[in-house]
Structure 1
Amino acid sequence: MTDPIRDAARPFHGDSLTALLPATTRVLGLGEPTHGVEAFPELRNELFRHLVEHEGYRSVVLESDCLMALAVDAHVTAGTGVLDETMERGFSHGWGAYPANRELVAWMRAHNQERPPGERLHFYGMDGPLETAGAASPREALTFLYDHLAPHLDLPVSRADLDGLLGADEPWTNPAVMMDPSASVGRTPEARELRLVADDLRALLTAHSPHLIAATSPDDWWRADLHGRAAAGLLRHHAAMADPSPARVGTLMALRDTMMADNLDAIVRREERRGPTLVFSHNSHLQRSRSSMSWDGRRVEWWSAGAITAERLGDRYAVVAANFGTRGSDVPAPGSLEGILSGLPDARSVVDPKRLAEVLDRKPEHRIPADHTYASLDPSTLDLVDAVVFLREV
């Protein structure tokens, strides 16, 4: 390890990381290279505490179901429900079982208890109501929006007709749809009609927002808008699930990241007067470059939520890519970027990518992961991240 490369890094600390970020940052994306390694959410917790206590951050967003996350937010802000129940029903993808996520929720609740409502930390999910095996029925999201509007406006469809169009939930959530587009109900006449209904209801929510907010509250309107976004996103997703063409997988990936980006956009607008926001997700969802994956022998590419958010926010969006060196028997090659960074003296380092690019005397190799769930850092995209957090071993 040469001295110039060491000069591009500092021991990990909140101050050493924020020193590399634009002063205009309102959304800080902290990525992890793989899910299921506790070292990364633990690092997230440490960073979030620093950001709250020293940088004025007032919210955190996780790669979890945006509707389920409402239960977590109610718990941390108002003490609704007990912690065990909140962890069980407030997270998708099994994230509620992770000790670091439990620690985060407990710390946020304790932090909020002695503070007035306007200063309390908020918790959000940015993902749609999606799981690996498929997507939720649009019933919960669409009926929530309908029931919010119905006491105040004349609606273009009755509740009974809406229930009839939705039908039973089982066809929507049929796991066979993931591999068999013909099993999907996403392009039935009823599903097409539901997309029009969702669009009409969302338009009414916006058109009558001054009246609705006065009659309910800003928070009630925001939750209705969240459910409207989720309903529209789910109906688009189910329609794409029914697509038998080779473009199906790429479309599904793009639609998921679009839902994430739209949720982040709404969170930024809600939080803009309170403080910046930390977002924690996989690197592939937060990066400014295109995301990609191999599927059935083909390379599938799409624009990530981070790339879309970066276009919307400009220098108000900053992204930090986290990665690691050794994991068990998976040791990076010496010529890879991770192999080079493994020579840093500290177990956890913050690396300035611009300085690193200046002092590297050769182009690093792209690490070939031993685990397909792990995404190594692409050396060619270092100029698209504001900082790298590197853990020598996990």
Structure 2
Amino acid sequence: MATDIKETIHPVDASALLRLLPSRPPASSRPPRPRVLALGEPTHTEDTLLHLRNELFRHLVEDEGYRIVAIESDCLKALVVDDYVATGRGSLDAVMADGFSHPDLGLGASAANRELVRWMRRHNEGRPASERVRFAGVDGPLEMAAAASPRAALVPLYASLAAHVDADLLPCDAGTLDQLLGADERWTDPAAMFEPGRSVGRSDDAARLRLLADELVALLDTQEPLLRAAVEPDAWHRARLYARTAVGLLRYHWAMADPSPSRMARLCALRDAMMADNLLALADRAPVLVHAHNAHLQRELSSMGMWDGPVEWWSAGALASVRLGPEYAFVATALGTLPHRGVDAPPPDTLEGLLYALPDDRCLVDARRLAGLIGDRLPAPRVSPWFGYAPFDPAHLAGSDGIVFLKDVPPHPSSP
């Protein structure tokens, strides 16, 4: 088995990664690229994985024409980062403090994320708009225990329309919208994640806002020729982002108020549907590298244990893959050890154990070829002693385009 595995191993670089993809003719010196290249990670907060992402993105930009990097962070907060890398607006310190969500994961404090933003700004200096790289968050304005108020999306969507369309076409005035939204705190109550009755998502105000959001999106669609002629492309893309996010957040809050047993599965599915919509919109603009958890990018059904039992849902990757076909590529990341998290050397009969026995500190695995060599003799699933690390499921080999394997992941300075 070890000899067979060696035949599937490649260096970890952008060109080798792209040549693993089934749409790439082996004889071509510059084969076509997927519109979405998804690089998954099995755990968060590890800068080693983020530095690898940065390295691959730089090569994809310089050698393959990729123009967007998207990460698992709030799509609205990420606009602050995008403004900075595109125009230099703001300061790096302020951008890192204000442009990332999930503070529990330390995204804004990450040295690797700071390195990425700094490199993107340097790359863009003096370049025309068509050659600039852009930054995006693919996630909705959602945290593990809360969802944002729809105000941050509905108000700018309304303003984008009110500035250009006849006032008689607007479904309400700005004051009515503000009154229905009310205080943001009633939307962001963290207790609502665990107690559906605490959610405002099925109140009369929320129901009216869902209807108004639908009317605003319909107006945006029907006035596209006018708006496209009136605003810069970036302003149009942001209006579309506000529209997607407003509708997605109101759906999410509605589901938070659902007392049924399917509540958490519905919430997970809605979150990934928002991620997929953001990803597809980015792919319409330019080739994009997206980096998020493997569970959000894989083609197979995702699952997770929650406080009220296991849930299953279709990931953003699965949704994007059925829409994009071969224009979507997924490369998972698998790890050998995370010693600072209590994850020691993998058992030899697991996939990670087979790869750990190789001499390479890191390698790129041709997942489909390896699946063909293994056949029905799948390695044993690995069990992680730490909840924050999800080992690669060997049953997903055939559905992955590649696997980046890192033998040992050392702690970074901010690790406990």
Q: Which residue, out of 31, 37, 40, partners 2:40?
A: 31
Mapped pair 1:90 → 2:99 = yes
TM-score when normalising by structure 1: 0.97
Moved more, 112-121 or 15-24: 15-24
Alignment match, 2:18: 18
How far the C-alpha of 1:326 sits from its partner, in A, is: 1.5
User: How far apart are the structure 1 equivalents of 2:371 and 2:258?
Assistant: 43
Q: Write out aligned runs for 1:326-345 (5 A).
A: 326-328=337-339, 329-330=342-343, 331-345=345-359
The AA in structure 1 aligned to 2:64 is E
User: Which residue number corresponds to residue 164 of structure 1?
Assistant: 179
Identity %: 54
Match of 1:107 among 96, 109, 119: 119
Q: In the aligned structure 1, how far is the partner of 2:205 from the partner of 2:148?
A: 16
Could you tell me how far apart the structure 2 residues matched to 1:264 and 1:297 are? 30
**Partner of residue 292 from structure 1, selected from 303, 312, 321:** 303
Amino acid in structure 1 at the alignment position of 2:20: L
Distance 1:193 1:5 in 2: 58
Q: C-alpha distance in 2, partners of 1:314/1:360?
A: 25
Q: Which residue of 2 aligns with 1:43?
A: 52
Residue 147, structure 1, aligned to residue 156, structure 2: no
Residue range with higher mean Cα deviation, 247-256 or 297-306 = 297-306
For 1:228, the equivalent position in structure 2 comes to: 243
Contact 1:5-1:360 at 8 Å conserved across structures: no
Query: Following the alignment from structure 2 to structure 1, what is the Cα–Cα distance between the partners of residues 147 and 3?
Result: 50
Distance in 1 separating the partners of 2:310 and 2:178: 40
Distance 1:114 1:88 in 2: 26
Aligned to 1:132: 144
For 2:164 and 2:16, how far apart are their aligned partners in 1?
A: 51
Q: What amino acid does structure 2 have at the position aligned with 1:355?
A: R
- Residue 24 of structure 1 deviates from its aligned partner by 4.7
Partner SS, residue 388 of structure 1: strand
Q: Does 1:9 align with 2:24?
A: no
AA aligned opposite 1:208: Q
Q: Which residue of 2 aligns with 1:206?
A: 221
Gaps of 5+ in 1: none
Give TM-score, length-normalised by structure 2: 0.92
CA distance in 2, matches of 1:90, 1:298: 33
SS at match of 2:70: strand
Q: Which whole-Å CA distance do the structure 2 matches of 1:338 and 1:355 have between them?
A: 16
Q: Distance in 2 between matches of 1:347 and 1:332?
A: 14
CA distance in 2 between partners of 1:363 and 1:222 (Å): 44
State the match for 1:194 in structure 2: 209
SS at match of 2:291: strand
Q: 1:247-266, aligned counterparts within 5 Å?
A: 247-266=262-281
Confirm whether residue 374 of structure 1 aligns to residue 383 of structure 2. no
* Aligned counterparts of 2:195 and 2:364: Cα–Cα separation in 1: 45
Q: Aligned letter for 1:86?
A: V
Deviations 1:99-139 (CA, angstroms, capped at 9, x unpaired): 10000000000000031111100111110011112001111
Q: Look up the match of 2:130.
A: 118
Corresponding residue for residue 357 of structure 1: 371
Distance 2:322 2:4 in 1: 33
Report the residue type matching 2:368 in the other structure: K
Runs of 4+ displaced beyond 4 Å: none
CA deviations 1:315-368 (Å, max 9, x no partner) are 000000001011214221110111111012110100011221233383200001
Distance 2:268 2:380 in 1: 27
Check conservation: 2:368, 2:399, Cα contact below 8 A: no
Find out whether 1:324 has 2:335 as its counterpart.
Answer: yes
Figure out how many residues of one structure are paired with residues of the other and give that number: 390
Q: 1:296 to 1:68 in 2, by over 3 A?
A: closer
Q: Distance in 1 between matches of 2:370 and 2:357?
A: 13
Residues 226-248 of structure 1 show CA distances to partners (whole Å, capped at 9, x for unaligned) of 11111111100111110111111
1:110 is paired with a residue whose SS is helix
RMSD after superposition: 1.2
Residue pair 2:138, 2:275 contacting (<8 A) in 1 also: yes
Task: Give, in angstroms, the shift of residue 38 of structure 1.
Answer: 1.2
**Secondary structure in structure 2 of the residue aligned to 1:97:** coil
1:151 shift after superposition: 2.5
